[in-house]
Amino acid sequence: MNIILKKKLDELSDKNITFEVTGYSSKEILISFYRIKKYIEFDDKESLAKMIIYPLTLNDENVEKRIYTPKDFISYYDRIITPSLKNIVLKETEEELFYNWSGAMFGDGQIWFGKYITQLNNY
């Protein structure tokens, strides 16, 4: 296991933070958390597209849309991953993650994920 990941897991354990209620291990959630952050920081559209369960539900301006393929996600990437959303993701820390039986989320629910991304909300 990566030394940094092990250290983060130990720190969360010391604070009694565990993500198992999501249906995934804390390790799986942290791996996804860091991958999402990295892919969004560097606009790695292709890698991020591979982390999505399709069809992806996108809530944009109170309208629910479906994205059915990685190709569609990549073509809409700049409309989905806005500077505001990017800022939210990059500022998020492990300790700030909200999580429940639906998974873990960035911000106020802009991105829901477990091992993979399940929902995006542009609000």
**What is the tens place of the pLDDT at every residue in 72-83?**
999 989 988 999
CATH no., domain 23-93+100-122: 3.10.450
Segments making up each domain of the chain, as ranges = 23-93+100-122
Query: For residue range 9-61, what is the model confidence (pLDDT) as tens digits?
Result: 777 676 767 788 898 988 889 899 999 999 999 999 999 999 999 998 887 66
Q: Pick from 119, 121, 116, 118: which is nearest to 31 by CA?
A: 116
Q: Report the percent of the chain where pLDDT is more than 70.
A: 91
* Backbone φ/ψ region at 18: left (φ over 0), alpha (ψ -120 to 50), beta: beta
Instruction: Give this prediction's pTM.
Output: 0.86
